Amino acid sequence: MTNEEFMNFIVEKFNSFEKRFDNFERRLDEFEERFSAFEKRLEKIEKRLDGFEERFEDVEKRLENVEKRVENVKIRLESVENLVKATFEQTASNSEAITEIKIKLDKKLESYDKTITELKQKSKEAELDIQLLKKLVVNL
């Protein structure tokens, strides 16, 4: 290999390295652009996640409020159940008392009916006696 060939070879290699280096720089620029785009997308995602965290915290607070309200409703429901039980027991007691009073009234009514029947019978007997006496007085 002559000096000139060697120099041409070196120049070709240098040009080849230069092209490869230019190609590498171009690819590095593309990578930097893609990396910048990736960073921007990542920032957007981070912002959305921050917003999501805030919304999630808000939802957690709202859920806690709902849980408190459910507990209050449970307490109120227990109170209502107790009132219903007490009312039912009182109604049952009142019903028993009413039944007892009704039985006593029925007995009294039967007693009064008997007494009225007896009085009517005695009244008829008295009328018959009066008629007999009138006939006797008239016959005397």
Dist. CA 6–CA 9, nearest whole Å: 5
Read off the pLDDT of residues 119-134 as tens digits, 9 standing for 90 and up. 999 999 999 989 888 8
Per-residue model confidence (pLDDT) at position 2: 86
From residue 21, alpha-carbon distances to 13, 15, 16, 46, 105 in Å are: 12, 9, 8, 36, 120
Per-residue model confidence (pLDDT) at position 92: 87
Name residues whose C-beta falls within 8 Å of residue 60's C-beta, 6 or more positions apart in sequence. none
CB 109 within 8 A of CB 101: no
* Extents of the domains making up the chain: 1-106
Taking residues 45-56, what's their average pLDDT? 89
Read off the pLDDT of residues 5-45 as tens digits, 9 standing for 90 and up. 989 999 999 999 999 999 999 999 999 999 999 999 999 99
Per-residue model confidence (pLDDT) at position 93: 87
